């Protein structure tokens, strides 16, 4: 990695300059941010390994048998990939089962998606012999990618204009990869503007009636695009100084009614320190409802046939994203349906698992699941919505009220901060248990890998040595 110059680009839109300045100049001093970044990276690797079997049809080299010098060994597989395909595959694996972390705002997103681009490129450069590419640098860039994506999510609802939130993955990755591959400050502005000018996917694959598995690999696609755009910039391709503000043709006039993005807080380490760790395979806005259902299940044991209605009090985001009635066509549809998640949990009397959403799951064709779904209603509670957006509360609440045929109404069960919430004291230990469970059989000693990486000294590890721990055990 070369030393970037510090030349400013005053001709560039101010937000592009601000992002580049944050990536190149900001010094991370928060011990919590460093620790949480370690957890996020390990959690992402666990999610990737968990997803390998269900993504087998599309991961691996495009041309079978391709040999890649200094290629990235895809975790849990025998594949060694070039940086572009590696970014697509790792980004897709991390995200596919909806088990990776989340961050709320006007736009919901998953900041660990960015690791899909950062780690393969860092590994590739490390294997090429660049001694400056250490795990400390990977952690730094993860913190900064989280921050860029998350800060732009807080007040900017891309879903309202039909664009998918992975636009922010592409933007954040382009920014931090610029530093990673040794671009100058001026070139970083070029690369960021390339990401802004790039075509952006529609959100329709996350919404009924078109919900599809693409929502699982959309982040991988964004990672791959970011790597490609940064490498094109490194080859000498110029950027677009007014990619955001150009009259008529810029992003703001094309998509945003001519208004600038809102940034409620300055870039720091807020997002890394306040994201949700997904300890449950459930869409993030429904996890607190699932937790409430786990609490309710013993009270309904043997009485599910006596349920008259189940009312779910929730936030506006859940009403937009996971409020579904009618047929569910695939796993992607089911894992984004509040009613399905709650019904399965009540019947199982346990947390849902990734396999519970698949077409061959017993629940996918369960008459009881469908009966319970039909008895559920959802309603936005304005207070829950307000506390969802309030950084002082950081709630992602749901409340469940069950009424029986006899007329008896069970006490409402409300969960404000779901399992995996950054403010819950059980989140760190839960993340370690998740990592150990999901990597068993692939990583030789998951507990040792976790404990060793939690030490500050692990930052000096070469990226290639760290990645090699996740090769499939022979």
User: Two tokens at 59?
Assistant: 């991961």
Predicted pLDDT of residue 8: 62
Q: Do residues 462 and 136 touch, judged by C-beta distance below 8 A?
A: no
Backbone φ and ψ of 308, nearest 5°: -90, -45
329, with CB counted inside 10 A (0-12, 13-18, 19+), is: middle
Chain position carrying tokens 């990645």? 467
β-pair partners for 81 = 72
Question: Can you say how many angstroms the Cα of residue 467 is from the centroid of all Cα atoms in its chain?
Answer: 20
Residue 97, CA distances (Å) to 92, 191, 280 in order: 9, 30, 10
CATH architecture classification, 284-415:
2-Layer Sandwich (3.30)
Predicted pLDDT of residue 474: 64
Q: What is the pLDDT of residues 291-336, one digit of tens each?
A: 999 999 999 999 999 999 999 999 999 999 999 999 999 999 999 9
Domain ranges in the chain are 14-274, 284-415
- Residue 199: CB atoms within 10 A of its CB come to 6
Residue 425, CA distances (Å) to 340, 420, 431 in order: 29, 9, 11
pTM equals 0.92
Collect the ranges in the chain with pLDDT lower than 70: 1-8, 474
Residues 6+ away with beta carbon under 8 Å from 437: 46
Q: What is the 3-state secondary structure (H, E, C) of the chain?
A: CCCCCCCCCCCCCHHHHHHHHHHHHCCCCCHHHHHHHHHHHHHHHHHHHHHCHHHCCCCCCCCCCCCCCCCEECCCCCCEECHHHHHHHHHHHHHCCCCCCEECCCCCECHHHHHHHHHHHHHHHHHCCCCCCEHHHHHHHHHHHHHHHHHHHHHCCHHHHCECCHHHHHHHHHHHHHHHCCCCHHHHHHHHHHHHHCCCCEHHHHCCCCCCCHHHHHHHHHHHHHHHHHHHHHCCCCCCCCCCCCCCCCHHHHHCCCCCCCCCCCCCCHHHHHCECCCCCCCHHHHHHHHHHHHHHHHHCCCHHHEEEEEEEECHHHHHHCCCCCCCCCHHHHCCCHHHHHHHHHHHCCCCCHHHHCCCCCCCCCHHHHHHHHCEEEEECHHHHHHHHCCCCCCCCEEEEEEECCCCECCCEEECCCCCCCCCCCHHHHHHHHHHHHHECCECCHHHHHHHHCCHHHHHCEHHHHHHHHCCCC
User: Two tokens at 137?
Assistant: 């640098």
CA angle 45, 49, 55 (to 5 degrees): 125
Predicted pLDDT of residue 111: 98
Return d(Cα 187, Cα 417) in angstroms, integer: 42
Residues recorded for the chain = 474
Q: What is the pLDDT of residues 132-184, one digit of tens each?
A: 999 999 999 999 999 999 999 999 999 999 999 999 999 999 999 999 999 99
What is the b/e burial string over 313-326, where b = at least 16 CB atoms within 10 angstroms of the residue's CB? Answer: bbbbbbbbbbbbee
Domains 14-274 and 284-415 share a fold: no
The CATH code belonging to domain 14-274 is: 1.10.4100.10
């Amino acid at each position: 990695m070369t030393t970037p110059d510090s030349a400013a680009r005053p001709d560039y839109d101010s937000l592009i300059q601000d992002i580049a300045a944050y990536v190149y100049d900001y010094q991370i001093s928060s011990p919590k941010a460093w620790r949480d970044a370690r957890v996020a990276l390990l959690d992402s690797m666990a999610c990737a390994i968990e997803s390998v079997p269900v993504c087998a049809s599309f991961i691996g080299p495009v041309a079978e048998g391709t040999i890649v010098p200094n290629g990235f060994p895809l975790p849990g597989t025998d594949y060694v990939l070039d940086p572009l395909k590696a970014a697509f595959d790792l980004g897709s694996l991390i995200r596919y089962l909806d088990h990776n972390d989340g961050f709320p705002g006007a736009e919901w997103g998953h900041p660990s998606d960015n690791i899909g681009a950062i780690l393969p490129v860092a590994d590739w450069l490390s294997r090429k012999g660049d001694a400056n590419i250490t795990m400390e640098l990977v952690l730094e860039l993860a913190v900064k990618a989280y921050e860029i994506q998350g800060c732009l999510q807080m007040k900017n609802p891309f879903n309202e204009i039909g664009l998918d939130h992975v636009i922010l993955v592409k933007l954040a990755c382009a920014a931090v990869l610029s530093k990673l591959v040794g671009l100058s400050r001026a070139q970083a502005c070029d690369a960021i503007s390339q990401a802004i000018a790039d075509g952006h996917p529609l959100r329709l694959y996350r919404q009924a009636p078109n919900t599809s598995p693409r929502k699982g690999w959309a982040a991988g696609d964004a990672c791959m695009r970011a790597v490609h755009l940064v490498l094109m910039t490194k080859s000498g391709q110029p950027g677009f100084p007014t990619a955001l503000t150009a009259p008529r043709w810029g992003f703001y006039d094309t998509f945003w009614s001519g208004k600038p993005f809102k940034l409620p807080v300055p870039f720091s380490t807020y997002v890394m320190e306040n994201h949700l760790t997904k300890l449950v395979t459930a869409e993030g806005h429904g996890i607190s409802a699932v937790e409430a259902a786990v609490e309710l299940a013993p009270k309904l044991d043997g009485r599910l046939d006596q349920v008259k209605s189940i009312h779910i009090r929730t936030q506006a985001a859940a009403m937009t994203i996971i409020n579904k009635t009618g047929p569910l066509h695939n796993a992607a549809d089911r894992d984004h349906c509040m009613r399905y998640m709650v019904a399965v949990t009540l019947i199982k009397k346990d947390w849902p698992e990734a396999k519970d959403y698949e077409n061959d799951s017993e629940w996918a064709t369960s008459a009881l699941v469908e009966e319970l779904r039909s008895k559920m209603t959802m309603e936005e509670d304005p207070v829950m919505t307000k506390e969802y957006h309030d950084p002082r509360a950081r709630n992602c609440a749901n409340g469940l009220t069950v009424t029986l045929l006899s007329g008896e109404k069970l006490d409402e069960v409300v969960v404000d901060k779901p399992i995996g919430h950054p403010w819950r004291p059980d989140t760190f230990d839960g993340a370690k248990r998740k990592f150990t469970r999901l990597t068993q059989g692939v990583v030789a000693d998951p507990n040792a890998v976790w404990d060793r990486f939690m030490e500050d000294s692990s930052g000096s590890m070469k990226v290639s040595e760290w990645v090699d721990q996740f090769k499939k055990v022979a």
